[in-house]
Amino acid sequence: MPFVLLLAASFAELPNVTVTYYDVAGRDIPAIHKAIAKAAPKDPETQHVLPATSSWNVGIAVKSVTTGKRCQITGATLTFRGSATMPRLLPDEDRPAPVATAFAAYAAKLEDRQAAQLRFAYDRLNEVEQAIRGSRCDKSEAAADAALGKLQAAERAAFKSDEQSQPKLEELKD
């Protein structure tokens, strides 16, 4: 049976998002947990396993016109690029269907969370553009940096990585 990768709509709705999958295997939930713990990225500060991650950056091109000694910003083009790392459960003919279903639901919740974080940043890029357009030519880079820093801080506050809010792959109930 061939394994087909489907890009979920939540990532697909954002431009320039690259999703990298790491493979996990297991016939039951504890085995899948062990596979995730072994293969998933780790938080660089705490070394805790992060089953899914996402990040973003913005390319900025500022347009300006100089007349005499006066420089005026006429536009700014922002290019959003996102990336995500997600688990992918390898096929196993001996895996019970409820285990595969539980993992699919878990992966969907992970993706929803990561896509929401990327969407949070993407939807607020106009604030960065406004900061650039409202600055002097010689201050446009500093204005962009400050606006991006403010956006990153707002994202961190909105998506605290506390254990309670993280999706969980729960044991199946009998």
Quote the percentage of the chain above a pLDDT of 90: 74
Quick count: other Cβ atoms within 10 Å of Cβ 114?
Answer: 26
What average pLDDT does the segment 132-149 reach?
Answer: 95
pLDDT, residue 34, reads 96
> Distance between CA atoms of 55 and 68, rounded to whole angstroms?
42
Length of the chain: 174
Look at residue 25 and tell me whether its pLDDT is greater than 80. yes
Residue 174 pLDDT grade (very low, low, confident, very high; cuts 50, 70, 90): low
pLDDT, residue 164, reads 57
pLDDT, residue 4, reads 37
Residue 135 pLDDT grade (very low, low, confident, very high; cuts 50, 70, 90): very high
Residue 165 pLDDT grade (very low, low, confident, very high; cuts 50, 70, 90): low
pLDDT, residue 158, reads 84
Helix (H) or strand (E) holding 157: helix 140-158
State the burial class of residue 110 (Cβ atoms within 10 Å of its Cβ: 0-12, 13-18, 19+). Answer: buried
- Average pLDDT value over all residues in the chain: 89
Residue 44: partners with Cβ closer than 8 Å, 6 or more residues away:
none
pLDDT digits (tens, 9 = 90+) for 54-105: 999 999 999 999 998 899 999 999 999 999 999 999 999 999 999 999 999 9
Crossing angle, helix 97-122 and helix 140-158, to 10 degrees? 150
